[in-house]
Each structure stands twice: as structure tokens, then as C-alpha cells.
Chains A and B, each alone.
Chain A
Amino acid sequence: MSISLNTKKNTLIVHIGGEFDLVSANEYRERIDHQMLENNSRNLLLNMEKTTFIDSSGLGVIMGRFRKIKANNGQMIIYGAKPGIKKIFEVSGILSLMPVCNTEEAAWQILEKKTIEGA
């Protein structure tokens, strides 16, 4: 399991590698929330290119962050998830909550569009 976080403007980009389950969920939740607060980030991009596994514990972190960001009028976008993980998204209903796309570039385009719409 691995996580790295970096910030561009008011957006936090989180890269999640390996397995996103009960153990990593607790750690990642804290690190993401801490970093969002520290950098005063409004939006969150979640890079799942290197995520090899997710279950409902990992999804709980995603949905929990989504609720917080939405309450703060921010946007959350997931990108790069492999087909096996996309299938979990389909079953969970997460696809109706937030955009899921293939590349970081596409995620930025969606973010800019949504930010303009929201303004």
C-alpha cells in the first residue's frame, strides 16, 4: 500500500497504490483530510492507476471525502481505475455521485468545466 499527495492550485491530487482496504482506509482518510485542511484545498482528484484492490472500506473513504468536499462546494473526480475496480464502482453506485474518467488530463478538463458551471 502506498499513498502520495500533491497540490496544484486549490486541488489536492491523491495517488493511491496497492490495496485500498480496511488497513489503508484508516490511514488514507486521515492523511487526505489533514492535507486538504493544511492546503485549504477545495477539490480532490483521486488517481487510482496503481490501485490493485478496493472493497467497501476503501469506498467508504471515497464516499466520506466526497460528502465533505461537496458540502464545501468543491469537486471530486476519480481517474485511471482499472476495469476490476470500475466494476466495484458500478455495483456501489458511486458512478452516479462523481465523475470517473481515464486520465489526469480528462479529470482536469472535467474539473475546469464544472468549476465554470458552478461559478
Chain B
Amino acid sequence: MDKLVNNSIKLEFPSKGENVALARITIAALVSQLELTLNDLEEIKVAVSEAVSNAVIHGYGNKPDGLITVIGILQNEKIIIEIIDQGIGINDIEKAMEPAFSTDPERTGLGFVFMQSFMDEVKVESQENHGTRVILSKQLNSENKKFAVS
């Protein structure tokens, strides 16, 4: 079972709320090709859900005709996920990433907090009126394996 899985996937879909689940389930299926803990799997699903929800809600303002691209790369026991939209972009990335910053009272402003809590690294590139690219990465397995061996 000690095999190294290198694999990748690219998804493109319209900016509909229903596709948030589609994206997180697909990425979950990809990372499940590695042996990973249920906890890691849950955390990755939440992080992907947040990034894709942001693209739908903020990037495209809930309009369903935008295009969202999700790329998942599994390499050397690391998962890298890119979530790309061509929406309105973020004019102040630092402010957008602040905990509890939200432009809507019915939202928690916790999207980026979850991404940062559950992934090793979160990078955001954005250009106003051109779109946003969020890159999430997380090292999987290595610690658990060390633990299992010792």
C-alpha cells in the first residue's frame, strides 16, 4: 500500500451553488487515492467549499453564468488545489482575508479563516474585473506514517 500517487484533475463548471458540492466531492475523491485521515479529508472539503462558494457569491455575485475552474494536483503526498474565477476580483485581499470581515450580515466572514486553518498554505491572486485565483495546499500523510512506523 506504500505507493506514491501522482495525479491531477481539472474541472470547469458554471457558477451555480449546486456545483460547490460537486467541486468538493470531486477533490475529496482525488485525495482519497492517498491514504489519509478522515480529519484531513473533512478539512480539505471545507476549504474547497469555501473557495468555490466565494467564487460563486463574491466573484460572480451569485450570477450562474460565470465560469469556475478547479484544478487538483496530487504530487508527492501533497495536494494543491487551484480555484479560478473570472469575476469581479478582490480590491483589497488583506482586508478580504481578515477574520469576520464580510460584506453581508448573514455571512460569517469565516471563509478564509477556514481555508487558512485547514490547509498548510493559502495564496490569493486577484485583479479587479479580471478574476481571482486561490491556491490551497496541504501536505498529507507524512506525519501519520511516521507515527505508524515508530
Contact = CB atoms under 8 A, between A and B. Distances in A.
B133 interface: no
Interface in B39-66: 39, 42, 45-46, 49-50, 53, 56-57
B106 interface: yes
Interface residues of A, number: 20
B13 interface: no
Interface stretch (B1-9, B15-23, B75-83, B141-149): B15-23
Residues of B in contact with A, size category: 20 to 34
Q: Is the interface of B mostly helix, strand, loop or mixed?
A: helix
Considering residues B17, B20, B106, B113, which has the most beta carbons from chain A within 10 angstroms of its beta carbon?
Answer: B106
B17 A56 contact: no
Contacts of B56: 22
Interface centre among A19, A26, A56, A92 (most CB of B within 10 A): A56
A96 to B, nearest CB: 13
B20 A63 contact: no
B117 A56 contact: no
Interface of B: 17-18, 20-21, 38-39, 42, 45-46, 49-50, 53, 56-57, 105-111, 113-114, 117
4 closest cross-chain pairs (CB), A and B: A55-B49, A56-B110, A23-B17, A22-B17
Nearest to B116: A91
A60 B108 contact: yes
Nearest to B115: A56
A84 B18 CA distance: 22
Nearest to B109: A56
Nearest to A85: B42
B96 to A, nearest CB: 13
A19 B110 contact: no
A88 B21 contact: no
B14 to A, nearest CB: 14
Contacts of A29: 106
A21 B56 CA distance: 12
A57 interface: yes
A61 interface: yes
A23 B57 CA distance: 11
Contacts of B39: 84, 87
A21 B22 CA distance: 12
26 contacts: A21-B20, A22-B17, A22-B20, A22-B49, A22-B53, A23-B20, A26-B17, A53-B42, A53-B45, A55-B46, A55-B53, A56-B50, A56-B53, A57-B49, A59-B110, A60-B106, A61-B106, A63-B108, A87-B39, A88-B114, A91-B110, A91-B114, A91-B117, A92-B108, A92-B113, A92-B114
